[in-house]
Amino acid sequence: MEPHDFTWIFAVGIVSSICDAFGIGANDVANSFASSVSSGSLTLLQACIIACFTEFLGAFLLGSSTSETIKGGILSVERFVDRPELLMLGMLCALIGSASWVLFASKKGMPVSTTHSIIGAIIGVGIAAFGGGAIQWGYSGVAKIITSWFVSPIAAGIVTAIIYLPTRFFVLESPNSLERGIKAIPIYFFVTSLIGSFYIIYKGAPGTDASTLSIGAIIGICFGVATGISAFSWFFFVKWLRRRVVGKENIRWYHIFVIHFVKYRPSPPPTSVTNSSADMEVTGAIESGADGDAKLGVCAKNVDQDFDDSTESPEEQKDTSLASKLLRLLQKIKYYALRGVRKDVRNLDNKDLANVHDAAKKFDDDTEYLFSFLQVITACLASFSHGSNDVANAAGPISSIYDIWKTAHVDVSGTAPVPTWVLAMSGAAIDLGLITYGYHVMRRLGNGVTYLSPSRGFSAELGTSLTVLTASKIGLPVSTTHCITGAITAIGLCNGNFRALNWKMLAWCFLSWVFTLPIAGLVGGLLFAFGSNAPTRFF
């Protein structure tokens, strides 16, 4: 093989890598934000806007400058030294196999591990190329992945319960829960920022010098950050909460930073009954219906028709000028571009889940409101770290293809440099996947499993981050996707009622984990077998 041979593999690999990154956004990032959106701490649009910045910046700024040529060391790269073009083909088939399964799972709302998906596809390629003996089947390979199906959700569930139950007993169920919650806010901010900053530095910054810091230095930095944020919450945020929640003042989130200088701002007078009724009708029109596309489309269509009927004459309505056509085209583009963030993913009005939600105990709304801000912080930190760490699932294979295409040889060290343009491309595709397709997984994983409120969602996200950190340090195999599923399950069990969980949905989730390796491996392996054994011009 000579440099720049097999350019078609490189070209198709770019497209496949974009599709795989798109699937990561639609699935991995979506399940990270599912609890925040389902609890009402964030709207779907707000979650997508935040993720666009945190995921992209995490991938672009902190993403690793190198990646494993073969994810997880599941297959020795030295087997391809004499035939580098076969490794190019293998990585292409692995990308296609992984992307196919992740996109299918996202469409069906199944939360799967994108890391396991790419590893499963590589297993299929390895079996097709060298037979089953070439794969690491022991605990250092496949057995470790299977173990994570059980270790991840159980460990995350235990940690989440440890966080949530004291919050429930000492704050939420207290007769004076709001006052207790306000006093406890600085403590929660300290713990949250401590774990979040540690998560980013220790696990999620492979592309920076932070990854080489000693554990003592990391702990010192994190304690400093946590102390500063906790002090800020005590002097500014707590006062803002008392005026906003207790005093019912009309102040905005940006007043937090200058709250000591903001004069008394009384709440606006209540809206008239007529306007309230009209708002309820509009809200009902948007939220009711079996399909999100249909209900939004009908709403938009009716509004457009009413507007046209009241402002245009029949002759004007028949206007077919270029400007009119362009305007209609732009309206269609806007509708289809934003329809993914206009979906109802909270499932609060889903009759099939009514019994599940009714079995969960509800707490004071104002007290729950306190945890919304904490949950937004945990979601942002987890998303930022996810972008820097898991972008390698899509960036790694295409970087290997690009390196071989450019140099015509395989690096026996098992690593490949990741160009900046690959990180940027992958980060953008991840964001696009969340915006346009992420609602499927959010709808299933959030309130589709159990009823989530801000305090419950905060506990689940913090428990997931802490579990991933601890398990990574002691060498236990965990998956973020599996952890958040186990954390949400534990929240449901903390209600003390098995009916507070949607067991069918949980079974569906577990089956999707089991199917990930064989299906992604089958697609990747079959494609490689066809491609590597196909007739060429040399035979």
Q: What is the pLDDT of residue 209?
A: 63
Rounded to 5°, angle at Cα 481 from 202 and 19: 95
The phi, psi pair for 153, rounded to 5°, reads -65, -35
State yes or no: pLDDT of 96 exceeds 90: yes
Higher pLDDT, 164 or 134: 164
Residue 318, pLDDT above cutoff 70 = no
Task: Identify the band that residue 477 occupies on the pLDDT scale cut at 50, 70 and 90.
Answer: low
CB-based contact 229:365 (threshold 8 Å): no
Say which residue, 151 or 382, is predicted with more confidence.
151
Q: Using DSSP, state whether 135 is helix, strand or coil.
A: strand
Give the pLDDT mean for 254-269.
83
What is the pLDDT, as a whole number, of residue 518? 92
Which has the minimum average pLDDT: 83-92, 205-214, 467-476? 205-214
Quick one: pLDDT band at residue 187, thresholds 50, 70, 90? very high
- Given a cut of 50, is residue 17 above it in pLDDT? yes
The stretch 163-182 carries a mean pLDDT of 91
Question: CA 10 → CA 3, 48, 300, 478, 534, distances in Å?
Answer: 12, 31, 43, 32, 19
By three-state DSSP, how is residue 255 classified? Answer: helix
C-alpha–C-alpha distance, residues 263 and 279, integer Å:
31
Structure confidence at residue 73 as a pLDDT band (50, 70, 90): low
- Rounded to an integer, what distance in angstroms lies between the CA atom of residue 31 and that of residue 479? 12
Q: How far apart are CA 10 and CA 213, in angstroms?
A: 36
Output 466-473 pairs: Cβ under 8 A, ≥24 positions apart.
466/159, 466/163, 466/195, 467/152, 467/155, 467/156, 467/159, 467/160, 468/199, 468/203, 469/195, 469/198, 469/199, 469/202, 469/203, 470/155, 470/159, 471/151, 471/152, 471/155, 472/202, 472/203, 473/202
330-360 pLDDT, tens per residue? Answer: 888 877 777 777 777 777 777 778 888 888 8
- When mean pLDDT is compared across 117-126, 254-263, 416-425, the lowest value belongs to 416-425
Q: Is residue 115 predicted with pLDDT exceeding 70?
A: yes
The pLDDT assigned to 69 comes to 53
pLDDT in tens, 202-224: 765 555 566 677 778 888 988 99
269 band by pLDDT with thresholds 50, 70 and 90: low
Q: Is the pLDDT of residue 275 over 70?
A: no
Residue type, 419: P
DSSP string, 61-116: HHS-SEEESSGGG-B-GGGGTT-HHHHHHHHHHHHHHHHHHHHHHHHTT----HHH
* Angle subtended at Cα 106 by Cα 431 and Cα 52, rounded to the nearest 5 degrees: 10
pLDDT at residue 74 greater than cutoff 50: yes
φ/ψ region of 289 (left if φ > 0, alpha if ψ in -120 to 50, else beta) reads left
Q: What is the pLDDT at residue 410?
A: 82
Domain ranges of the chain: 7-171+355-501+514-532, 174-261, 289-351
In terms of average pLDDT, the best of 68-77, 133-142, 173-182, 266-275 is: 173-182
Percent of the chain with pLDDT over 70: 83
DSSP assignment of 275-324: HHHHHHHHHHHHH-SS-HHHHHHHHHHHHHHHHHHHH--HHHHT---HHH
More confident residue, 471 or 494: 494
For the cut 80, the answer to whether the pLDDT of residue 126 exceeds it is yes
Per-residue pLDDT band for 303 (boundaries 50, 70, 90) equals very low
How far is Cα 279 from Cα 282, in angstroms, rounded to an integer? 5
- Cβ contacts of 124 within 8 Å, gap of 6 or more: 93, 94, 97, 520, 521, 522, 523, 524, 525, 526, 528
- C-alpha dist (Å) from residue 419 to 84, 133, 238, 409: 19, 33, 44, 17
Which of 538, 519, 400, 396 lies closest to 89 in space, CA to CA? 400
Cβ atoms < 10 Å from Cβ of 164: 22
SS3 label, residue 206: coil
Looking at residue 63, its pLDDT comes to 65
For residue 284, what are its two tokens? Answer: 């009902």
Region 403-410: mean pLDDT is 87
Lowest model confidence (mean pLDDT) among 194-203, 431-440, 502-511 = 194-203
Q: Give the percent of the chain with pLDDT over 90.
A: 22
More confident residue, 279 or 215: 215
Residue 325: strand, helix, or coil: helix
Determine contact, residues 405/3, Cβ cutoff 8 Å.
yes
**pLDDT tier for residue 423 given thresholds of 50, 70 and 90:** confident
